[in-house]
Structure 1
Amino acid sequence: MNLTLLIFLLVYIAMGFGKVPGFKIDRTGAALVGALAMLAIGSISAQAAWNAIDYKTIGLLFGLMIVSGAFAVSGFYAWAANKVATLQVSPAKLLAVFIVVSGVLSSILTNDVVVVAMTPLLVSITLARGLNPIPFLLGFCFAANTGSVGTLIGSPQNMIAAQALDVSFIDLLKVAGIPALISLPIVWGIICYLFKGKWTIEKTVNTTPTTIVQPQLNKLETLKALIVTIVLVVIFIMDIWPQELVALTAAGILLINRTVASNDVLKEVDGNLLLLIMGLFIVNAAMSTTGLPQTLLADLKHMGLNLNDPLSLFFTSAALSNIVGNNPTVMLLVPYLETGLNANALCAALALGTGFSSNMVIFGSLAGIVVVEQAKASGIQISFMDYAKAGFPVAVVCIFLSAFWIYFI
């Protein structure tokens, strides 16, 4: 039991710090090494480890990555970013467009993929226009995180929670869609207030020269991806077939192509994220066999913290996600939640808690890390405090309003 607990703690320390202290092992590596270590010391059998992996969730996530990848390969993301960033409107209106586009695309095509695909071009175009990229990038990032909480396919953690709690696409949309929609004007209002009079780039900022290349849009491939996505969402809403089978079927259709190599689409799949999730399934299952998590939850319930109470779960997931990350938080909590009449509210609590709190700090989400790193590559420094000054109030206001929403549902 002691070794199992030690391995578990080391894995989640890596989730929090982004690596194992003293070693060059990132989150994915830590999850895989942790899973192998659990097998090696006998904390979990090979068959139990295989059974612990929720292949429905993995299949759903993989299929949706292929769907989103088809849009990336067709040039849609680059084309959309160029169209948005070159609009001849005031900075405040341009920010509003950034936020709406980010929120809508992220709710349908998964937030992390959208941010990874569109951020580099948004940096280049805002710099070329003499605009300060920071408020636009932060708005785009925050909207991707908050706008995605309203749908089952908006983020990996939503997919994990919905699969574990047996919540349908339309059920999650009903309980989380309105807060996700309300979050977008909140993001816009706070950033406009904080960056009033700071829309243009300072001359002292050392930025690398930017060359804007007009993106080429493959209209036929984009249309194909759009049709498949619309059909996929409609079938999700109808809830007549298993979600993972629908997503994998959509992926298969998009991979069958005469002009685009399947390998190019597969390159858009985040294999590291899939491996991380599979590793954590095994690590968490091994830890569960010790009985320690069950004992801890029983003690917490006795003290008044019941994770099967949506409001308690909401605040717990919001706090944990800024320590170990969104996906690990959901995976850590869902095995101990009760499905049933309260499943929709619990799923909403997880989606809103992890999604809205992830804007507090840079490492709270992959979207935040991507935005900061892409900006740095172009000579724009977004420090921890710069990010937190905008992200903290955005997260606090969204969390505060969502707490009331969850209380009433």
Structure 2
Amino acid sequence: MESVVSIMTEKIKKYLLKDVTFTISLVGAIISCLFGTFSVSFIDFKVILALFGLMLVIEALKSMGVLKWLAGRITTLAKTKRQLVQSLVGLSFFASMFLTNDVAILTLLPIFLLIAKQALSKKELVLGTVLLIVAANLGSSVFPTGNPQNIYLFSYYHLNLSTFFIWVLPFFGLALGSMWGLTLLISKASFQLNPTTSSPTVTWKIGPFIGLLLMLAYVTNLLTSWLWVFLVGCLVGVPFPNSIKKIDYLLLGTFLCFFLIVGNLAENDTLAHLLRQSVQNERMTLWVSAGVSQLISNVPAAILLAPFTSHSRAMVLGTNIGGMGTIIASLANLIGYKVFSTYSSDQKGRFFSYFSLINFSLLAIFLICFTF
């Protein structure tokens, strides 16, 4: 009996350590409910359904190999080192708008690193890695479905597409210009790839593409009934059953926990007052949301602060800008580092140097530009 308990304890411990953010949010939710109350009304089920549907579609698209195939095709057109980096960084930027920043990194970064080991110097490999991660973060910021905090904020503030795009258009321009400028640091020298390197094959099925369009419409409130998510589940889950298993359920659990935490905080007059005071105007909301993101990452920061301010534009911009900076400012940063350390463990020190220099520089530039 003791051995069974010990095995179960180890499994639970391993599961909880798998995602520290989820574990911390779970502990916080339990404590908040013990001192407050457990209420289903705290939970925004539209956001949960939107995340579930999008993750299901994205997992199916990943299994089809669409992004890998596209990366392979683009790579064959590159003639210089700079063009190689620009093509994959650009693909990371635009793909993350629809497929989220973490998916863009998980799919494209391994391809980039395999090619970069043949074509680039170690410095260029590390710099290109950092740029690809930054591009995924920036690109995901300019579309409502690009990252979890945008999905949440779009739903919470009942935004419409035209308003959202007007807000992020300057962000898009600055982001695109910044990424293009940074890629100029890569040499224009030509490169030679191993002839065995070829474009991955892709399995074309229409279900995931229809599912993606339906989920984009659901997130942006063009479709409102939860039945559309059920339809997406049928369109995608039946032909791609493994996609259901691969969904990041810990992320969904993290959202549920933070909804409970924030719901209880809102009912505590003292804490609610302190949070409202910290985000009482546009400038404070922008800086506080970006600053809090540095400590707990931008998704929890959005869920924590949004209920206490009506400055929706500043929240959207602040949490997206907040994805730059520290390694924990965005989950995508940590994913990128994990992938990089698997392929180039001897370059971790250089990675952190380049990552910190570029991210904190961009964080300062974006904050200054959007403050004035």
Which category describes the TM-score, using the shorter chain as reference length? 0.7 to 0.9
Count of residues in Structure 1 that have an aligned counterpart in Structure 2: 349
Deviations 1:67-120 (A, max 9, x none): 211210111122223233443322223332223211211111211222122222
| RMSD of aligned alpha carbons | 2.9
Query: Alpha-carbon deviation of 1:334?
Result: 1.1
- Residue 364 in structure 1 maps to residue 329 in structure 2: yes
CA distance in 2, matches of 1:245, 1:337: 31
Query: Alpha-carbon deviation of 1:181?
Result: 3.7
- Residue 107 in structure 1 maps to residue 97 in structure 2: yes
CA distance in 1, matches of 2:227, 2:317: 26
**Which residue identity does 1:180 align to in structure 2?**
F
Match of 1:279, SS state, is: helix
- Residue 30 in structure 1 maps to residue 24 in structure 2: yes
Instruction: Report the counterpart of residue 6 of structure 1 in structure 2.
Output: none
Match of 2:35, SS state, is: coil
CA distance in 1, matches of 2:337, 2:174: 25
CA distance in 2, matches of 1:138, 1:360: 12
Structure 1 runs of 4+ aligned residues shifted over 4 Å read 195-200, 211-214, 234-237, 243-248
**Which residue identity does 1:216 align to in structure 2?**
T
Instruction: Report the counterpart of residue 166 of structure 1 in structure 2.
Output: 158
Instruction: Report the counterpart of residue 236 of structure 2 in structure 1.
Output: 254
Instruction: Report the counterpart of residue 286 of structure 1 in structure 2.
Output: 264
**Which residue identity does 1:312 align to in structure 2?**
M
Superposition pairs for residues 45-84 of structure 1, below 5 Å?
A: 45-46=37-38, 48=39, 50-84=40-74
Superposition pairs for residues 334-349 of structure 1, below 5 Å?
A: 334-338=306-310, 346-349=311-314
Deviations 1:165-213 (A, max 9, x none): 11123321222134124312212313534x569999xxxxxxxx9x957
- Residue 271 in structure 1 maps to residue 261 in structure 2: no
**Which residue identity does 2:302 align to in structure 1?**
V
Q: Is the 8 A contact 1:82 1:122 kept in 2?
A: no
After superposition, the Cα gap between the structure-2 partners of 1:164 and 1:234, relative to the gap in structure 1 and judged at 3 Å, is closer
Q: Is the 8 A contact 2:65 2:201 kept in 1?
A: yes
CA distance in 1, matches of 2:136, 2:228: 24
Q: Is the 8 A contact 1:363 1:369 kept in 2?
A: yes
- 5+ residue gaps, structure 2, are 1-15
- Residue 310 in structure 1 maps to residue 295 in structure 2: no
Specify which of 25, 31, 36 is matched with residue 44 of structure 1: 36
After superposition, the Cα gap between the structure-2 partners of 1:92 and 1:170, relative to the gap in structure 1 and judged at 3 Å, is same
Instruction: Report the counterpart of residue 17 of structure 1 in structure 2.
Output: none
Match of 1:382, SS state, is: helix
Query: Alpha-carbon deviation of 1:234?
Result: 5.7
- Residue 332 in structure 1 maps to residue 304 in structure 2: yes
Specify which of 231, 242, 256 is matched with residue 224 of structure 2: 242
Deviations 1:5-26 (A, max 9, x none): xxxxxxxxxxxxxxx9xx9981
Query: Alpha-carbon deviation of 1:399?
Result: 2.7
Instruction: Report the counterpart of residue 382 of structure 1 in structure 2.
Output: 348
**Which residue identity does 1:325 align to in structure 2?**
S
After superposition, the Cα gap between the structure-2 partners of 1:114 and 1:267, relative to the gap in structure 1 and judged at 3 Å, is farther
CA distance in 2, matches of 1:388, 1:354: 18
After superposition, the Cα gap between the structure-2 partners of 1:24 and 1:108, relative to the gap in structure 1 and judged at 3 Å, is closer
Match of 1:363, SS state, is: coil
- Residue 226 in structure 1 maps to residue 209 in structure 2: yes
Instruction: Report the counterpart of residue 188 of structure 1 in structure 2.
Output: 180
Match of 2:77, SS state, is: coil
Instruction: Report the counterpart of residue 106 of structure 2 in structure 1.
Output: 116
- Residue 92 in structure 1 maps to residue 82 in structure 2: yes
- 5+ residue gaps, structure 1, are 1-19, 201-208, 339-345, 405-409
Calculate percent identity across the aligned residue pairs: 21
TM-score, with normalisation over the residues of structure 2? Answer: 0.83
Select between 176-185 and 63-72 the one with higher mean Cα deviation.
176-185
CA distance in 1, matches of 2:52, 2:171: 27
CA distance in 2, matches of 1:295, 1:71: 44
Select between 158-167 and 168-177 the one with higher mean Cα deviation.
168-177
**Which residue identity does 1:357 align to in structure 2?**
G
Q: Is the 8 A contact 2:275 2:305 kept in 1?
A: no
After superposition, the Cα gap between the structure-2 partners of 1:95 and 1:166, relative to the gap in structure 1 and judged at 3 Å, is same
Instruction: Report the counterpart of residue 11 of structure 2 in structure 1.
Output: none
Q: Is the 8 A contact 1:115 1:371 kept in 2?
A: yes
CA distance in 1, matches of 2:231, 2:101: 21
Q: Is the 8 A contact 2:131 2:179 kept in 1?
A: yes
Superposition pairs for residues 136-215 of structure 1, below 5 Å?
A: 136-193=128-185, 214-215=199-200
CA distance in 1, matches of 2:256, 2:314: 23
After superposition, the Cα gap between the structure-2 partners of 1:165 and 1:198, relative to the gap in structure 1 and judged at 3 Å, is farther
Deviations 1:145-174 (A, max 9, x none): 111112110110011111111112332122
Instruction: Report the counterpart of residue 10 of structure 1 in structure 2.
Output: none
Match of 1:350, SS state, is: helix
Q: Is the 8 A contact 2:50 2:218 kept in 1?
A: no
